[in-house]
A and B are shown apart, each in its own frame.
Chain A
């Protein structure tokens, strides 16, 4: 029996194999892309959940909130994820966290988490409801107004909202003076929000142009 080595044929096979091989990784990459996007989605959801848990812990454990205003410099520095005091409602402190994933987690109405289709009411959901019901409806609404002003400021600080749109915002304009008083922001003086300077006069917010 003789073995004939067909080197040219083998080269052809090797070439074919390599060609085919170069196709396979492409297909795998496509699959990996899909998997990566799913993984990213799950990871984002996990981060959002962790953020809510962390901010809710601050509420339930009665953590000491950060004061929003530096009274010495009459300035506000808003950072997502920080547990702030936003003043008081009917003498009761309003504290909460602006979430990086969007939304605000407040001690007047702690966030809850539910999977669609789930029927069991969890102890966390019950605790949030109980805490919420410990405030009257008017108190919750006043807290809502202050949160609205804070969130407007938050978007202004991020550059996602203009001064003009703040002044067009009925909710902001109506409740801003009360909010400022509650957090100790002196509106008779210029103030800064995340490094940007403003004044409040004749019932409107104005930008102060700063030279670089």
Chain B
């Protein structure tokens, strides 16, 4: 009997923990890491190298999916003399339009942009020693009016450098990163 009771308590706890996430899943979606994962700057007050995400071939997202919001999280090189207050980071879509970002906050100014395209980020800093770098992670909220589908995907770099969709373990797919300059 005790076992049965503890099973139901665990099940209830599971529901409490899971249900709010499911409720939010209709409109809240998730993220990934750039290629290269560390982007460097060697001059103050100039743009750094770019970090790319090529989301064109993610099969688990419909072609017609649009962004609701985009979130960028980044860590900085504090040992390089960088601070968060003196580092400004931009996120851009492949046509070049973008926004300055706040680390860890969703930016709804990307709402309506197609998800399946190349995204890139770059930063400028007013303070570092001989060089500085950041390590950015991208999260995208998306929805698709055509299929009425929405959801989350988490991209992370696998050891072989290929981005992997963590949410669809069955249909795990690789995304080859293409540098825009090489095209």
Contacts and interface: CB of A to CB of B under 8 A. Distances in A.
A155 B145 contact: yes
Given A112-B99, A119-B46, A148-B69, A154 B112 contact: yes
Contacts of B27: 165, 168-172
Contact of B100 (A103, A117, A128, A145): A128
Contacts of B92: 112, 114, 116
A115 B111 CA distance: 21
A112 B95 CA distance: 11
Interface size classification for chain B: 35 or more
A109 B47 contact: no
A75 interface: no
Given A52-B97, A114-B98, A151 B112 contact: yes
**Residues of B contacting A: mostly:** mixed
Interface string A2-13: 000000000000
Contact of B108 (A113, A121, A148): A148
Interface in A1-53: 44-45, 48-49, 52
Nearest to B122: A114
Contact of A113 (B98, B102, B110, B150): B98
Nearest to B92: A114
B66 interface: yes
Nearest to B41: A119
A104 B111 CA distance: 7
B129 interface: no
Contacts of B111: 102-104, 147-148, 151, 154
Question: B43, B45, B67, B108: which has the most chain A beta carbons within 10 Å?
Answer: B108
A192 interface: no
B148 interface: yes
Interface in A78-123: 98-99, 101-106, 109, 111-121
B13 interface: no
Contact of B180 (A45, A116, A159): A116
Contacts of B100: 109, 112, 128-129, 132
Nearest to A108: B109
A67 interface: no
A104 B108 CA distance: 8
Given A52-B97, A168-B27, A116 B50 contact: yes
29 contacts: A101-B95, A102-B67, A102-B111, A102-B113, A103-B97, A103-B110, A104-B108, A104-B109, A105-B109, A111-B98, A111-B99, A113-B98, A114-B98, A116-B181, A118-B47, A120-B46, A120-B47, A121-B45, A125-B90, A128-B100, A129-B100, A144-B105, A155-B112, A161-B143, A168-B23, A170-B26, A170-B27, A170-B28, A172-B27
Interface of B: 23-24, 26-28, 43, 45-47, 50, 52, 66-69, 88, 90, 92, 95-100, 102, 105-114, 120, 122, 124, 143, 145, 148, 150, 180-181
By Cβ-Cβ distance, the 7 closest A-B pairs, closest first, are A160-B145, A102-B112, A151-B111, A168-B26, A102-B113, A169-B27, A148-B108
